[in-house]
Amino acid sequence: MSRLRLLVVGLLYALSGQQGAAFGRSFTPRAKSADTLVSSIVVRGGARNGRSRLKTMATSSDGPSVAKPKKEVVLDKKVQAKEAVKKLDLFIAMTYFCNTVMFMLPVILLPVIGAENGGGAGFVAAIASVATLGGASGKFVNGFICQAAGAKISSALYLMASSLCCFLLSATTLNMGLLLAGIEFCASVQWTASAVILTNHYKNDPAALAQAITLLSLSSTAGGLITKVAGPVLLQYMSWQQLARVGGGVGLLGALTMSQLVRQQPEGVPATTTPLEFKSIFATLGRVVGSPLFWLAGVGHSMVMLAKTSDKILGSFFQEATGLSSSICGGLTLSITIGMVVGLVTGSKAFFKQDGVPGKTSLLKRRYGLGVLSAFVLAGLAALPTNKIPPLPLAGLIALFSGSMATMLSFQYYQLPPIIARSFGQDQAVCLSFLDGIGYFLASPIWAATSSIVKGPGWAPAWVMLGGLFLFGGTLMLKALPPILKKQEAK
């Protein structure tokens, strides 16, 4: 009897539900899907499923929305990934900033150390020559270390080693040249390691890679400027030994940032390394050095590096051409620094807006051409008779065209090596190091020749020679780059 009562109650309940659905269907356009669900529930379960039927009607009154939570989860993951990438860029830039501060600190400390030891300019020059060898040799050695140990581990360990050299420098005056060489040797790995990590994360996004390299380069510029400005101020309140210890602390901060906050590969991608064996070293050398594209790009990059390092001679040119004081002329060399920053930002945006390889190579041709033209204009200013233009306007023109030269060649200096190194796959760390290493070794004899030309015929032929070298380097780079760009766009 009880079962019969339950059956009757269930049928009445179901019939009342069908009437309500029919009533709702005449007024609400969304009731059709709900009515279909109610009918299926009535057929399957009657009174036993009545509560489930009401719950289904309530949730389906606004139409199907089952996929919405999944989409939100996917969007959240994409947002989190973008935020993680931006944080990665900032952390690597912070690490490189710390490295630059330690690398530039000897520029501030050496004059004070020389004066304190009574050695003067000769003492400083001897120490500086040993330190430069450390940086140059590091370019050819550290690429293999970075490839074998991994970019992240190499960067963190070398920052700790640089920091140790700073602390030892503050504690003893013995082997000072070797300690400074150690700082430059360790600093030389950071650009390679940082570029490799960024390339790992942006393999399929060249524009994002360019933005990250731009931020990395800006952090380097900021580190150099802040060290040159803040260093002399801090020396008014502390000894050079204490300032060296501050530099060591900055290095430890960079090592901590790299080791704790940076991923070598995107999440879920295992890190790959190459064992440091003679067999693997020779195999890597064969793949890198045996590539004609590497030599075309390497020599082309070396010629552009001359624009970056031309501030070493620009101060003397300002002084001899205008007769202004040496302190003012030294400050005017900031035209190169500012030009490199402006060119990096504007060049990156313009390059990746171009469609296809022809547009990109055409843009590079224009920039190389304007860089060469700026050097020739500087040669023309150097050839002007004395007092033809008043000192201040002449200084302004020299600053304008030297800055223009740096602007037009900046993108090629910073951005093209990582693009080229990507085509070498697992050997990209060695490729990046060797590209800079070739630049170091070719720049030294070129600047020596420039010095001889300035002492002989004068500044005009020296700037003509530099303009010709820019043209030569651009020709080689434009021959090497199109096949690499086509291959990367095909991927």
pLDDT at residue 122, rounded to an integer: 59
- Output the DSSP codes for 373-434: HHHHHHHHHHHSPTTSS-HHHHHHHHHHHHHHHHHHHHHHHHHHHHHHHHTTGGGHHHHHHH
Residue 239 CA from chain centroid, whole number: 34
Tokens of 36: 């279909």
| Three-state SS letters, 12-69 | HHHHHHHHHHHHHHHHCCCHHHHHHHHHHHHHHHHHHHHHHHHHHHHHHCCCCCCCHH
pLDDT band at 447 (very low <50, low <70, confident <90, very high): confident
| Rounded (5°) CA angle 311-312-316 | 95
pLDDT at residue 17, rounded to an integer: 47
Cα atoms in the Cβ-side hemisphere of radius 13 Å centred on 289? 11
- Read off the pLDDT of residues 114-147 as tens digits, 9 standing for 90 and up: 777 765 555 666 776 677 778 878 888 888 888 8
With 0-12 CB in 10 A as exposed, 13-18 as middle and 19+ as buried, what is 470?
A: buried
- Per cent of the chain over pLDDT 90 is 40
- Read off the pLDDT of residues 313-343 as tens digits, 9 standing for 90 and up: 888 899 889 988 876 887 788 899 899 999 9
Helix 151-171 to helix 176-201 angle (10° resolution) is 160
Domains observed in the chain: 10-60 (no CATH), 85-278 (1.20.1250.20), 289-491 (1.20.1250.20)
pLDDT band at 463 (very low <50, low <70, confident <90, very high): very high
The per-residue pLDDT of the chain, averaged, comes to 81
Gap between the Cα atoms of 130 and 141, Å rounded: 17
